[in-house]
C-alpha cells in the first residue's frame, strides 16, 4: 500500500433521510437538510457539537453551506459545496476523506435537501440559457439521455424492453422498501405503454420527481469503531468529468464511469465481481444499463441482455438499487446522496427485508448533469480492510 493511501482512513457511521415524497407546505431545502443531519447524528450517537466539517450542495440555495451552518448554529472548520449535479455527494466523500486525512476536520456531515416536487422542477432547477440548444427545445435532462440511449440502441441493438427491465427491477426492490414513493406492481408492458416523454423513454423510464433530503456522517476510522453501527469504511473513490453539454460527450455510449470506476476499484484493491451490492444512479433506465457496462459487469453493448430476466431484481444474481432507486424510491433532483445512504446501510446491516445477507462490499455510483460527471465510491466492512 502506498504511503499516502486513504484506503479505509474514514467511515460512514450514520445515515438518515429527511421527510420524503411530498413534504409539508412551506418546508425549505434547508429545513430538510438540517432535519436529515440531526437524524443522521442520532443514528450514530454523535452530537451537533461534534460536527466540524460540512459538505453540501443543492440547486435551490446558492450558498447552502452557510445556510445550513447558520440554521444548525455550528461553525465548521471545513466546508465544501462542490456542485457537479447528482454525483456531488460522491465527490464530497472523496474530498472529505482527504480533509479528514489532512486533519482539517474529524466529523463531517454530507447533506442535501430539495423541495422540487412542491415547488416544481422549473423553480427548483431553473434552466440555464444555452444559445446552441434552446432553439431546438430539448426537454432537459431527459432528451439528452434519450439521445445517448438512441445511439446505444443503434450500435448494439438494445431494446425498449431491455430498458424497461431496469424499471421493473427497481420497482420490485421498492416493494421491499417502506419509504419508497411508488410500490404498485409494474410490468415491462406497463413501462412500454406509459406516456411517451422523449423517445425511447416513457415516463416510467424516467426518475421520479419528489421532495426529500438526506445526510451521512463520515468520521475517522479510529472514532468510527466506538459508535453504534458496524462502520462502512471508504475503500476507494474515483471522480471524472467528461463534458457539460450532451453534444460534447466524447462517445454517447461510454460514460465517465469507465474512468471513475477503475480508479475506485484500483484504490480499493477489489474487482467488480467482489462487490456484494451496487447502488447506481438511475436517473433514467438507460443509466443503470450503461453503468453496469462501464463499471465492468458486462462487455460494452451487452447491458441490455445483462439486465434482462430479473438479473438485477430481488432474487437475481446481482443486487442493484436495493432501495428502489430514483425510478421508484425517491428522486429529489440530486439523488446521489441516497445511493451512499443505501450502500452504507447495507454494510451497517440495517436494511430489513431488503438486506443483502453477508454484504461486506458495496459500490455507490453517482451521475450528474447529462451523463457529465461520474463519481464512484466503494465502501466495505472491517472485514475488507
The residues binding another protein (CB under 8 A) are: 131-133, 135-139, 143, 146-148, 150-151, 154, 195-200, 245-248, 252
Instruction: Select 138 or 314, whichever has its Cβ closest to another protein.
Output: 138
Shortest Å, Cβ 244 to another protein: 11
Least CB distance to another protein at residue 366 (A):
24
**Cα dihedral 299, 258, 244, 326 in deg (nearest 10):** 70
C-alpha cell at 374: 461520474
Minimum distance, C-beta of residue 208 to another protein, in the bound complex (Å): 18
> Least distance from C-beta 335 to another protein, angstroms?
22
Of residues 78, 281, 286, 335, which has the active-site annotation?
281
Angle, helices 285-294/160-174, rounded to nearest 10 degrees: 100
Cell triple for 170: 427497481
- Over its C-alpha atoms, the chain yields an Rg (Å, rounded) of 19
Whether cis (ω within 30° of 0) applies to the bond prior to 141 is yes
Our CA angle for 205, 208, 212, nearest 5°, is: 155
Output phi, psi for 9, to 5 deg: -75, -20
Q: What is the 3-state secondary structure (H, E, C) of 239-285?
A: EEECCCCHHHCCCCCCCCHHHHHHHHHHHHCCCHHHCCEEEECCCEH
Looking at beta carbons only, is 205 or 342 nearer to another protein? 205
Question: Per the omega criterion (within 30 degrees of 0), is the bond before 200 cis?
Answer: yes
Q: Rounded to whole angstroms, what are the CA distances from 328 to 181, 206, 265, 324, 358?
A: 6, 10, 28, 5, 25
Nearer to another protein, 132 or 299 (CB): 132
Catalytic residue among 145, 259, 329, 335: 329
Quick one: cell of 334? 440530486
d(CA 106, CA 217): 10
- CA–CA separation, 199 and 342 (whole Å): 31
The verdict on whether 297 is a catalytic residue reads no
Specify whether 281 is catalytic.
yes
The nearer residue to another protein, 118 or 150, going by C-beta atoms, is: 150
Residue 68 C-beta: closest distance to another protein, Å: 36
In whole angstroms, the minimum distance from the beta carbon of 117 to another protein comes to 18
Shorter beta-carbon distance to another protein: residue 78 or 284: 284
Contact criterion met (CB below 8 Å) for 290 and 156: no
What is the smallest separation between the CB atom of 140 and another protein, expressed in angstroms?
10
Using DSSP's 3-state secondary structure scheme, residue 320 falls into: strand
Question: What are the start-end ranges of the E strands in the chain?
Answer: 10-21, 53-56, 78-80, 107-114, 196-198, 201-202, 211-220, 232-241, 277-280, 361-368, 373-380
Main-chain dihedrals φ then ψ at residue 315, nearest 5 degrees? 90, -10
Residues designated as active site: 281, 329
Amino acid at each position: 500500500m502506498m504511503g499516502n493511501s486513504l484506503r479505509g482512513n474514514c467511515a460512514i457511521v450514520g445515515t438518515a433521510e429527511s421527510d420524503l415524497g411530498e413534504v409539508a407546505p412551506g418546508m425549505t431545502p434547508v429545513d430538510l437538510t438540517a432535519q436529515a443531519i440531526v437524524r443522521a447524528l442520532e443514528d450514530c450517537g454523535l452530537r451537533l457539537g461534534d460536527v466540524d466539517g460540512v459538505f453540501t450542495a443543492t440547486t435551490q440555495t446558492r450558498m447552502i453551506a452557510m445556510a445550513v451552518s447558520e440554521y444548525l448554529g455550528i461553525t465548521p472548520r471545513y466546508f465544501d459545496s462542490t456542485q457537479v449535479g447528482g454525483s456531488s455527494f460522491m465527490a464530497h466523500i472523496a474530498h472529505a476523506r482527504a480533509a479528514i486525512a489532512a486533519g482539517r476536520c474529524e466529523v463531517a456531515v454530507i447533506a442535501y435537501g430539495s423541495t422540487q416536487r412542491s415547488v416544481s422542477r422549473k423553480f427548483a432547477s431553473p434552466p440555464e440559457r444555452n444559445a446552441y440548444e434552446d432553439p431546438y427545445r430539448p426537454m432537459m435532462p431527459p432528451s439528452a439521455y434519450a439521445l445517448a440511449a438512441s445511439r446505444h440502441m443503434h450500435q448494439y441493438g438494445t431494446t425498449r424492453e431491455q430498458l424497461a427491465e431496469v424499471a421493473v427491477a427497481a420497482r420490485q426492490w421498492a416493494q421491499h422498501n417502506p419509504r419508497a414513493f411508488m410500490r404498485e406492481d409494474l410490468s415491462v408492458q406497463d413501462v412500454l405503454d406509459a406516456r411517451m416523454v422523449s423517445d425511447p423513454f416513457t415516463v416510467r423510464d424516467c426518475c421520479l420527481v419528489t421532495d426529500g433530503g438526506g445526510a451521512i456522517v463520515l468520521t475517522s476510522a479510529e472514532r468510527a469503531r466506538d459508535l453504534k453501527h458496524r462502520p462502512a469504511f471508504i475503500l476507494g473513490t474515483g471522480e471524472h468529468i467528461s463534458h457539460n453539454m450532451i453534444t460534447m460527450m466524447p462517445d454517447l455510449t461510454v460514460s465517465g464511469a469507465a474512468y471513475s470506476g477503475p480508479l475506485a476499484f484500483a484504490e480499493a484493491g477489489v474487482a467488480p465481481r467482489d462487490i456484494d451490492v451496487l447502488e447506481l444512479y438511475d436517473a433514467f433506465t438507460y443509466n443503470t444499463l450503461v453503468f453496469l457496462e462501464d463499471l465492468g459487469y458486462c462487455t460494452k453493448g451487452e447491458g441490455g441482455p445483462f439486465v434482462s430476466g430479473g438479473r438485477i431484481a430481488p432474487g437475481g444474481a446481482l443486487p442493484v438499487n436495493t432501495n428502489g432507486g430514483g425510478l421508484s424510491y425517491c428522486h429529489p433532483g440530486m439523488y446521489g446522496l441516497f445511493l451512499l445512504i443505501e450502500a452504507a446501510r447495507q454494510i451497517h446491516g440495517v436494511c430489513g427485508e431488503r438486506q443483502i445477507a453477508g454484504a461486506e462490499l458495496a459500490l455507490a455510483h453517482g451521475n450528474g448533469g447529462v451523463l457529465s460527471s461520474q463519481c464512484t465510491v466503494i465502501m466495505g466492512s472491517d472485514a475488507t480492510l
